[in-house]
């Protein structure tokens, strides 16, 4: 069923066309003048407009010209009793897709309308694909890192994510900034039944309230100052696929209300429009905030929270999976080396030990940035400690310096574990990797040291303590 607008100031012809097209299964609206029809189209665009050429006031040529100015994709069929070449050419020059000469049989009208609707569907699909491509190109520039790791927290997360991917459930990905929330969202899409559909991203924290609403739901031409043409929203672009709402905790209250309606009803209206659009979208959202605390503080709607929080996935920060750090570091050398510094093929042990001494408040994203920076300045074919950024090798990272100040508001056990790991790393470095000497410097038994070295990723699991 298509939405069709019939414009004619002759009652008999208008009503006849309306009846014919309604019987053909279309939703038909009728207007008695060109101005009335144009106003109806601007409120809610139609898939096809059938307009008489000769009308009082605004004639069919003027209607066609105005419709094409309002919507470049408008498909217009002009009805004329003056079937001359000049009239047809003028109508086509103004943007009409076809014309039909009076009198005509119902079958001829239906055939012309079917042809026009095929053209309309093609134009809308091209518009959607073009918008999706532009959105994808913009989003690709904001994607960082890669979900790499073999630690227990990562294996557990991936197992949960794969189970969630097989369903159509709404997922909330939680984690600190830089942990790879978008990468998990992309994995959920790629391993889901929707993998052949679009994956569309909205970076909620990067947009002002008015822009975010337009970005999510789209807008009609003239909806606000600067809205010079219709814009399809990200929900429409994600139809049949997955919509990723990054930093959903930053969405303002007014937009939260509209988002809740879309999640509940699976339908929306563009800003400034009246047409209700159905959408088939799986929503995956992410946040670094504690949304339950935001709900208690009155900054986030409780009903929206429960709509988003069907399947929660928690990403571990890098400090909770230090055994993944060498794997990640080498991955980023391989990823950026060919582009930044082709000579570099790896990292030495000194550089890896220096990396383990850092708390990584920026998580995997910070690590990737540091590796890329080191590649820029590296002189040899492997990265050394001297190639790393100064904040990793100087000041608090030196053995004779004080411990670094912990970053962020974190539980005391987490802070103490960080400090213990850094102390062990410094002693291990000072002892040249000799375990018995490392244990002596720390004042602990060698067996206890092995446990801690395994725990913090300095050694592979299962390595036996030294004898003697």
Q: How many CB atoms lie within 10 A of CB 375?
A: 21
Residues forming CATH 3.40.50.300 domain(s) in the chain: 142-316
Residues forming CATH 1.10.8.60 domain(s) in the chain: 320-455
Determine the pLDDT at residue 375. Answer: 92
Q: Would you place residue 397 in the very low, low, confident or very high pLDDT band (cuts 50, 70, 90)?
A: very low
Q: Which residues contact 34 (CB under 8 A, 6 or more apart)?
A: 7, 51, 55, 57, 58, 59, 60, 62, 63, 66
Condensed to tens digits (0 to 9), the pLDDT of residues 266-317 reads: 999 999 988 889 999 999 999 999 999 999 999 999 999 999 999 999 999 9
Written in H, E and C, the secondary structure of 235-269 is: HHHCCCCEEEEECHHHCCHHHHHHHHHHHHHCEEC
CA nearest to 454, candidates 463, 443, 445, 467: 463
Residues forming CATH 3.40.50.2300 domain(s) in the chain: 3-123
Determine the pLDDT at residue 415. Answer: 67
Tokens 């850094």 correspond to 422
pLDDT at 404 over 70: no
What average pLDDT score do residues 416-441 get?
A: 77
Determine the pLDDT at residue 240. Answer: 94
Q: Residue 240 has which token pair? A: 């049949």
Q: Which of these ranges, 56-60, 96-100, 417-421, has the smallest mean pLDDT?
A: 417-421
pLDDT at 369 over 70: yes
Condensed to tens digits (0 to 9), the pLDDT of residues 320-352 reads: 999 999 999 998 998 888 888 888 989 999 999
Percent of the chain with pLDDT over 70: 87
Determine the pLDDT at residue 184. Answer: 94
Q: Would you place residue 121 in the very low, low, confident or very high pLDDT band (cuts 50, 70, 90)?
A: confident
Of the candidate CATH numbers 3.40.50.2300, 3.40.50.300, 3.40.630.30, 3.20.20.150, the domain formed by 3-123 belongs to 3.40.50.2300
Of the candidate CATH numbers 1.10.645.10, 1.10.8.60, 3.40.50.300, 3.30.230.10, the domain formed by 320-455 belongs to 1.10.8.60
CA nearest to 370, candidates 423, 329, 331: 329
Determine contact, residues 64/91, Cβ cutoff 8 Å.
Answer: yes
The residue with greater pLDDT, 443 or 278, is 278
CA distance 59 to 51: 9
Determine contact, residues 5/31, Cβ cutoff 8 Å.
Answer: yes
Fold for 142-316, please state it: Rossmann fold (3.40.50)
Supply the mean pLDDT for the chain: 85
Q: Residue 372 has which token pair? A: 């890329």
């Amino acid at each position: 069923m298509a939405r069709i607008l019939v414009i004619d100031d002759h009652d008999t012809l208008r009503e006849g066309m309306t009846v014919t097209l309604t019987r053909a299964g279309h939703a038909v609206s009728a207007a008695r003048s060109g101005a009335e029809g144009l106003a109806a189209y601007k409120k809610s665009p139609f898939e096809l407009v059938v307009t008489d050429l000769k009308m009082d006031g605004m004639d069919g040529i003027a209607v066609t010209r105005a419709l094409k100015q309002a919507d470049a994709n408008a498909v217009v069929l002009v009805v004329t009793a003056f079937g001359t070449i000049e009239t047809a050419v003028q109508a086509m020059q103004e943007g009409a897709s076809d014309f039909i000469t009076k009198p005509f049989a119902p079958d001829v009208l239906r055939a012309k309308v079917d042809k026009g609707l095929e053209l309309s569907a093609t134009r809308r699909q091209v518009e959607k694909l073009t918008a999706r491509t532009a959105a994808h190109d913009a989003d690709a520039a904001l994607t960082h890192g890669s979900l790499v790791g073999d630690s227990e927290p990562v294996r557990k997360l991936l197992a949960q994510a794969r189970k969630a991917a097989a369903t159509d459930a709404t997922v909330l990905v939680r984690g600190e900034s830089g942990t790879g929330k978008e990468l998990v969202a992309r994995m959920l899409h790629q391993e889901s039944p929707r993998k052949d559909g679009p994956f569309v991203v909205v970076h909620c924290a990067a947009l002002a309230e008015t822009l975010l609403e337009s970005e999510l739901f789209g807008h009609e031409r003239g909806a606000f100052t600067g809205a010079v043409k219709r814009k399809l929203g990200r929900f429409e672009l994600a139809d049949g696929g997955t919509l990723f709402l990054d930093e959903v905790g930053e969405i303002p209250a007014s937009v939260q209300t509209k988002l809740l309606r879309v999640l509940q009803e699976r339908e929306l209206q563009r800003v400034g429009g009246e047409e209700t659009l159905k959408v088939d979208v799986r929503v995956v959202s992410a946040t670094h905030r504690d949304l339950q605390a935001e709900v208690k503080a009155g900054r986030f709607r409780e009903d929206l929270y429960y709509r988003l929080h069907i399947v929660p996935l928690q990403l571990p920060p890098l400090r909770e999976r230090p055994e993944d750090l060498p794997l990640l570091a080498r991955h980023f050398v391989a990823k950026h080396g060919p582009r930044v510094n082709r000579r570099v093929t790896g990292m030495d042990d000194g550089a890896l030990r220096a990396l383990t001494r850092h708390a990584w408040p920026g998580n995997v994203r910070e690590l990737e940035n540091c590796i890329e920076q080191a590649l820029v300045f590296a002189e040899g074919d492997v990265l050394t400690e001297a190639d790393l950024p100064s904040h990793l090798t100087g000041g608090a990272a030196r053995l004779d310096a004080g411990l670094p100040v912990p970053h962020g508001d974190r539980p005391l056990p987490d802070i103490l574990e960080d400090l213990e790991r850094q102390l062990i790393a410094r002693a291990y470095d000072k002892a040249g990797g000799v375990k018995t000497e490392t244990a002596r410097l720390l004042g602990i038994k060698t067996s206890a040291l092995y446990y801690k070295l395994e725990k913090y990723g300095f050694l592979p699991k299962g390595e036996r303590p030294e004898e003697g």
